[in-house]
Structure 1
Amino acid sequence: SSKCTRTGIPPQVRTNLLDIRESILKKSKAMQSVDDAEEMEVALDAARALWSLSQSNRNKEYMQKAGIIRLLPKLLKAKDENIVVQTMGMLQNCGNLPKFQVAIQTLDLVEDIVRLFSSSNNMELKKLCAMAIFRHSEDEKIRKLVHIHHGLTPLIKLLQQDIILLDRDLLTAVTGAVWKLAFSVENVLRFDQLKTIPRLVSLLSYDDETVLVHVVGALAECCKLEHNAAVLQRAGGIKPLVLLLNLTNQALLANTAHVLGQCAWDLKCMEEMEEHDAVRLIWSLLKNSSTKVQANAAWALVPCIQNATDSGEMVRSFVGGIELIVKLLQSSDTRVVACICAALAKVATDQENLAVVTDLGVVPILAKLVHTAENEFLQEHLASAIANCCNWGKNCFEFGRLEAVTPLMNFLYDSNDRVQATTIEALSQLSTDPFNCITLHQSQVVPLLIKAAGSSDRKKQLAAAKCLTNIRKLALAADKVKTKQTQP
């Protein structure tokens, strides 16, 4: 790379210069001989250069081939903090390479990273350690190792100190680490013990959007546990979160929609969200150009529509809101379509709104989607939307006419319980039309329904039983007609 030639000495050579004896690394400066000090100085220069070089992907490859990985454990245990800082810088830069990620686990470098973060007073080193945890904690094994090595407590202790507010980069790294670590429920439970949510809420007014992305992301992960929505509300988190919906940063909007969606399942939170006009702001995010923002907003609307007071009227009050839902059913992004189907299923529980979506041509769009839906998440919510859209006019008949019944029935062959449950509900609704009953009978659905009727899920049992009853009624009626025709 150009960086490699500009520095003159290739990464392979610089890597070799770092390979110094452990006995020297373990000595403090005062205990080093002149030769030791010289060797350390050369190694330190090499480490500085490699940290800089490691910003280039090609150089990372060279460094890895030159054997940098095997040197990391001893370098991170060096007495001289300068060399440790440079090594952490390198490790952090190289974290996107799979071989470095594997090394962090197999060499258990997490223990070193946590130890350095906890014990050092060097803020630069703390920042690099936190950034390394942030960058690597998408991996579940790394999150577990941070937990095992007691890395959560020192992170939150530092986050609780006001001094961190003076160092934007350190705050960015620590909040990022907390966010990614919160992907694991066991870590969220520990964060709960450490009173993390009130501190995160206090940071919602911090004037840096990257920090806010991390803080709101962490709150969203914490609120996966139901009790934390109430904790967030008591800490005064709802209003500042709703205010963030007025900003334009897409990563921030996606995370904010996510956390408010989690909170909306809590009735007290929902009440406060309504006071601050949150649902209108979330609905307006469906117009955002980011598919992640659209999907998270649609998903957040599910509990909002379910728990809002007079939700049917509220949905109608958003000018162009229902049209937007129907339009996004034709998005090329599978997750957007699935989340929109989930929101549509809630919209369609109100008869007036169901009439509106029907007039907007929702039935042909849903019928077309049934033929192409392969993703389980989409199948689950598409079936749910179809079930709820059957309760108006000729919609049931139309789904049959548009040949949606047999491909929908094929969803039952999926082993996913949630897909099966919503599909049986949809088939149960569709079976109220006699033509659909004929199609279902011909499609050999009866054995699948008998199996579902024996399920431990009460709702699934009832839907399967209703569908079987409708098919049986039609079969009996057909037999009566045949008997009459054969009688002299």
Structure 2
Amino acid sequence: MARASSSVREQPARAEPAHIVPFGKQLKCLQKFQEYKTVEALVTLLTDQPEEVLINVIGALGECCQEQENRGTIRRCGGIAPMVKLLSATNRALLVNVNKAVGGCAMEPENMAVIDSLDGVRLLWSLLKNPNPDVQASAAWALCPCVENAKNSGEMVRSLVGGLELIVNLLKSKDKEVLTSVCAAIANIAKDQENLAVMTDHGVVPLLSKLANTNNNKLRRHLAEAIAHCCMWGSNRVAFGEARAVAPLARYLKSKDPLVHRATALALYQLSEDPNNCVIMHENGVVKLLLAMVGSTDDALQEAAAGCIANIRRLALATEKAKYG
């Protein structure tokens, strides 16, 4: 196997592509890989190979398993077990590539069942303790599809002793990619009420709120999603308002990124169930910005924007009625 350049191996998690390959060419490449049974050949190289070879092999599989058909092929030819075994490695570049590959495989529920049976989720979770931020971030990203596609994800997460406290504490990280990936993972975990209650006890609300003043659109998107889901427990909506998270979120609506708009509208809709938050939103010009989004072709954005405006308007009418009778 050809030896990869050291620059590729040194920064697998942060490297940006030199150019974008046109979609048609991507399909042709995928078809050729399938025709030559490339994935099957790569899987045979997952065992009894030098570390340098493994880094490249698992890196290639991580790219291949972004395609649904290849994810199935990896499972059928027994590739998941050796992948999961590599989660116990110590090499940073290898771990980053393995995390991506396992996370890609977990996008299929059938694959996720195999990963879970091999204790893969626990191994991924343990990598959140790794001192390297690239490893932490790639592990958190991999956990997102694991939580989303596990048969009983709530119970699976609860079985990891200290796991929820660990992931909440990662919100204190100084690394933007770690923060973004952890917010994405928390958004998925918070869909389970019991786990959300535990994360709330560990201080997830004030920690998320402290991140609100960011200009990073990727972090904004996943932070807003996490806030939206974390609103669903107890007095968390009120707590986000008291922690001054609402005004910064309102400014996200001025972003150019439509994915940020959707996540922010969902968060603001949940937060608008609290009257004090509605007042803050109104003062920060949310209504005008949301009105423009009510006509969006994105149903989720449209409904969240309309729901938030309705809550703000309902409060305004109630205030007028109380004032003037």
TM above 0.5: yes
Taking structure 1 as reference, are residues 483 and 346 closer, same or farther at Cα in structure 2, changes over 3 Å only?
same
Partner of 2:123: 281
Q: CA deviation at 1:189?
A: 4.3
The equivalent residue for 1:251 is 93
- Of the three residues 175, 194, 207, the one matched with 1:365 is 207
| CA contact 1:206–1:212 (8 Å) conserved in 2 | no
Matched, 1:223 2:65: yes
Aligned residue identity for 2:116: E
Distance (Å, rounded) in 2 between the aligned partners of 1:316 and 1:388 = 18
Percent identity between matched residues is 49
TM, length-normalised to structure 2:
0.92
* Pairing 1:354–2:196 present: yes
Query: In the alignment, which residue of structure 2 is the partner of 1:442?
Result: 283
What TM-score do the two structures reach when normalised by structure 1?
Answer: 0.62
The answer for unaligned runs of 5 or more in structure 1 is 1-125, 149-183
- Relative distance call for 1:449 and 1:142 in structure 2 (3 A) is closer
Q: How does 1:369-408 map to 2 (within 5 A)?
A: 369-371=211-213, 373-408=214-249
Q: Indicate the structure (1 or 2) with the bigger Cα radius of gyration.
A: 1
TM-aligned CA deviation for residue 308 of structure 1: 1.0
Paired residue secondary structure (1:323): helix
| CA distance in structure 2 between the aligned counterparts of 1:427 and 1:193, rounded to whole angstroms | 48
* In structure 2, distance between residues paired with 1:322 and 1:472: 37
Evaluate the alpha carbon distance shift between residue 139 and residue 365 of structure 1 in structure 2; reply closer, same or farther with a 3 A threshold: closer
* Residues 398 and 186 of structure 1, relative CA distance in 2, 3 Å threshold: farther
- CA drift at 1:406: 1.0
2:185 aligned to 336, 343, 351, which one?
A: 343
1:354, 1:330 → 2: CA distance?
Answer: 18
Q: 1:194 to 1:138 in 2, by over 3 A?
A: farther
Q: 2:135 aligns with which of 293, 303, 310?
A: 293
| Structure 1 CA distance for aligned equivalents of residues 323 and 229 of structure 2 | 35
Structure with higher RCO (Cα < 8 A, 6+ apart): 2
Query: Are positions 1:197 and 2:39 aligned together?
Result: yes
Q: Do structure 1's residue 429 and structure 2's residue 270 form an aligned pair?
A: yes
Mapped pair 1:210 → 2:37: no
Q: 1:286 to 1:138 in 2, by over 3 A?
A: closer
Kindly tell me: are residues 270 and 127 of structure 1, through their superposed partners in 2, closer, same or farther at Cα, counting changes over 3 Å?
closer
Distance 2:127 2:245 in 1: 31
What CA deviation, in whole Å up to 9, does each residue of 1:285-336 have, x standing for no partner? Answer: 1011111111011001111111112211111111110011011111111000
Q: Structure 1 residues 325, 127: closer, same or farther in 2, change over 3 A? A: closer
Equivalent position amino acid for 2:138 in 1: N
Aligned mates of 2:2, 2:108 — CA distance in 1 = 36
- Structure 1 residues 334 and 271, CA, compared in 2 at 3 Å: closer, same or farther? same
Shift of residue 342 of structure 1? 0.4
- Partners of 1:350 and 1:330 lie apart in 2 by 23
Once the 2 structures are TM-superposed, how far is the Cα of residue 361 of structure 1 from its aligned partner? 1.0
- What letter corresponds to residue 317 of structure 1 in structure 2? S
Query: For the aligned residues, what is the CA RMSD?
Result: 2.3
Structure 1 consecutive aligned stretches of length 4 or more whose deviation exceeds 4 Å: 141-144
In the TM superposition, 1:285-324 aligns within 5 A as 285-324=127-166
- Letter paired with 1:455: S
Q: Pick closer, same or farther for the CA change 1:452–1:139 going to 2, 3 Å.
A: closer
Structure 1 equivalent of residue 106 of structure 2: 264
Counterpart Cα distance in 1 of 2:31 and 2:279? 52
2:299 to 427, 447, 458: 458
Matched residue count? 318
Measure how far apart 1:192 and its partner are: 2.7
